[in-house]
Amino acid sequence: MAAIPKGRIVLYVVLGVIVIVVGIFVLTTSAKEKQLQAGHKWEVEDVARFVKGRTEQCEDIEQDLSGYTGPEVDEAMALLAKAREGMTQMQSLTDANEITAKSKEVGENIKKARAIKNKLKRGK
C-alpha cells in the first residue's frame, strides 16, 4: 500500500473540524430562531395586516359554505361571526399579550370553520 502523505492527513483533519464547527453554528442559530418565532408577540402595527388577511379567509369560507345548509353550516357561520367579532375587538386593544391571545382565538375559530367546510366538501 502506498503511504498517505502527512500533509493530506492534516488537511482532512482541518476540514473535518471546520465542518463540525459550522454544523454546530447552524444548529444553534436554528434553535435560537425557532425560540424567537415561538414567542412571537403581536404588536399594534401587525393587527391591520392580520385583520385584512383573516377577513379575506372568512369571506372565502362563507362563499364556499353558501351552497350548503344544515346545522354544520350554522355552526361554521357562528364561528366565523365570533372570529369577526374578535377581529373587531383586536383593533381596539393596545397590550401585546391581549392582542396575541385574541389572535390565537380568532385563528382557532377560523380553523374550526374551515374544518367544517372541508368536511362538507368531502360529503361527510
pLDDT-derived band at 36, boundaries 50, 70, 90: low
| 38-81 residue pLDDT tens | 666 666 777 888 889 999 999 999 998 888 888 999 999 999 99
CA distance 85 to 102: 10
CA distance 27 to 39: 19
Pick the residue with more confidence: 21 or 99?
A: 21
Do the Cβ atoms of 24 and 73 come closer than 8 Å?
Answer: no
Provide the pLDDT for residue 41.
Answer: 66
Give me the residue spans of the domains in the chain: 1-37, 44-122
Provide the pLDDT for residue 37.
Answer: 64
Provide the pLDDT for residue 90.
Answer: 86
Do the Cβ atoms of 58 and 110 come closer than 8 Å?
Answer: yes
Provide the pLDDT for residue 66.
Answer: 87
Give ∠ CA 124-114-56 in degrees, rounded to 5: 145
Query: pTM for this structure?
Result: 0.63
| 73-107 residue pLDDT tens | 999 999 999 999 999 988 888 887 888 888 889 99
